[in-house]
Amino acid sequence: MLRLLLTYNFPPASTVMCRRDALLKVGGFVQPQGMPAADYPTWLRLAALGRLAPIEGVLGFWRSHPAQITQVMEREMLAIPRLNWAAWVAADLSPADRMRLGLTGPEAARIDAARRARTDFKAGRRALRRNRRDEAAGHFRDAMHGGRGVAKAKAVVALVSTRLGFNLERLLNVRDIVTRS
């Protein structure tokens, strides 16, 4: 679960339940210096400690409004996935736990780079939807340089389509239609 959280997941705080003793064991909610959120670093520490499991059912509702933290602090919130989380978690682990979890230095760096590339790609798409083509191109360029394999290819296509003025969202929708057929 730790690798999944490091690679893809960022569960909203309102959807997580945990045992009080486990939370106390990791020192309560953790908020690293300069971090606008305490939930994600805490989930990472809990995942390194032991087993996490998804449960069925609605645990909370998320309401979107202009004054919420993800809107007011958009830049800071976008920086969260760009941080070196795998390296941060690995630094807190014993050498034996790093080996057990497969979170050695090079693997942590690979996970962090892949996460940043995905974050840049998403930020590029978001900028395009706001008609900020130059900003989008910058994000796609960053994703291209940091990504590997499919992520790099997607970033190249996105960058080229942005520079040529193609509608990337339409291209992605066509791709989805074709792959579902």
Same structural domain, 97 and 137: no
| Phi, psi at 19, each rounded to 5° | -75, 140
Could you tell me if 14 and 60 are in contact, meaning their C-beta atoms sit under 8 angstroms apart? yes
Q: How far is CA 154 from CA 3, 91, 146, in A?
A: 23, 32, 12
Same structural domain, 66 and 144: no
0.75 exceeded by the pTM? Answer: no
User: Does the residue 158 lie in any domain?
Assistant: yes
- Please identify, among 76, 103, 130, the residue that sits at the C-terminal boundary of a domain: 103
Share of the chain above pLDDT 70, in %: 84
> Nearest Cα to 128, choosing from 95, 97, 86, 171?
171
Estimate to the nearest angstrom the gap between the alpha carbon of 69 and the chain centroid. Answer: 17
- Please identify, among 53, 76, 103, the residue that sits at the C-terminal boundary of a domain: 103
Same structural domain, 68 and 91: yes
Same structural domain, 71 and 131: no
User: Does the residue 109 lie in any domain?
Assistant: no
Same structural domain, 74 and 149: no
The count of domains in the chain is 2
Of residues 154 and 60, the one with the higher pLDDT is 154
Same structural domain, 3 and 92: yes
User: Does the residue 122 lie in any domain?
Assistant: yes
- Please identify, among 44, 72, 103, the residue that sits at the C-terminal boundary of a domain: 103
- 44-94: per-residue pLDDT in tens? 889 888 888 878 888 777 777 777 766 666 666 666 666 788 888 898 888
Same structural domain, 46 and 123: no
Going by pLDDT thresholds of 50, 70 and 90, the confidence category of residue 134 is very high
Same structural domain, 62 and 123: no
Estimate to the nearest angstrom the gap between the alpha carbon of 110 and the chain centroid. Answer: 14
Q: Residue 44: give the domain boundaries.
A: 1-103
Q: Quick one: tokens of 24?
A: 């106390």
User: Does the residue 132 lie in any domain?
Assistant: yes
User: Does the residue 111 lie in any domain?
Assistant: no
User: Does the residue 59 lie in any domain?
Assistant: yes
Could you tell me if 58 and 28 are in contact, meaning their C-beta atoms sit under 8 angstroms apart? no
User: Does the residue 70 lie in any domain?
Assistant: yes
Q: Is the pLDDT of residue 141 over 90?
A: yes
How does DSSP assign 17-70, residue by residue? Answer: ---HHHHHHTTSS---TT-S-SHHHHHHHHHHHS-----SS--------TTSHH
Same structural domain, 47 and 125: no
Could you tell me if 138 and 104 are in contact, meaning their C-beta atoms sit under 8 angstroms apart? no
User: Does the residue 108 lie in any domain?
Assistant: no
- CA dist 149 and 168 (Å) reads 19
Start-to-end Cα distance in the chain = 32
